[in-house]
Amino acid sequence: MRNQSRLIFRSIFRVKVSNPKNGALIGYVGDVSEFGFKLLSDTAIEPGTRMNLRLRMRLAENELLQLELDASCKWSGVNDKTGYFEAGFILEQPSAEFTTMVEKLRIMRGELDDA
């Protein structure tokens, strides 16, 4: 059972996930919480796999958020409706930048007061 609410993206192209070493696109974030995210990809990822990832998201016209993090795949499977592989990732270490990204998204959606 989840302990935190997730932000689900209507457009899966909102947050891109890539390999920080070569910039190759791995997939897109399907949903996100303060502790992890669901990755949508064209390739399967084995549960238990630990990966260094780069997340990129445009917050505003001239504002691009980019951060690198270390995460582990906790589960994976295929979504029969979309054909995408889905994998649940949890952050290996707390990341202030990741938490800030989630907070900004919550504010943008009106889920938090901008205090």
Give per-residue pLDDT as tens, 67-112: 999 999 999 999 999 899 999 999 988 788 888 888 887 887 776 5
Residues 6 or more apart from 93 whose CB is under 8 A from it? 69, 70
Question: What confidence tens digit (pLDDT) does each residue in 18-70 have?
Answer: 999 999 999 999 999 888 999 999 999 999 999 999 999 887 778 888 999 99
The answer as to CATH 3.30.160.60 being correct for domain 7-108 is: no
pLDDT at 94: 78
Instruction: Please count the CA atoms within 13 angstroms of the CA of 87 that sit on its side-chain side.
Output: 23
Task: Work out the mean pLDDT of the chain and round it to a whole number.
Answer: 85
Residue 39 is encoded by which pair of tokens? 């990755």
Closest to 30 (Cα-Cα) out of 94, 64, 81: 81
Whether pTM exceeds 0.85: no
Which DSSP letter does residue 73 get? Answer: E
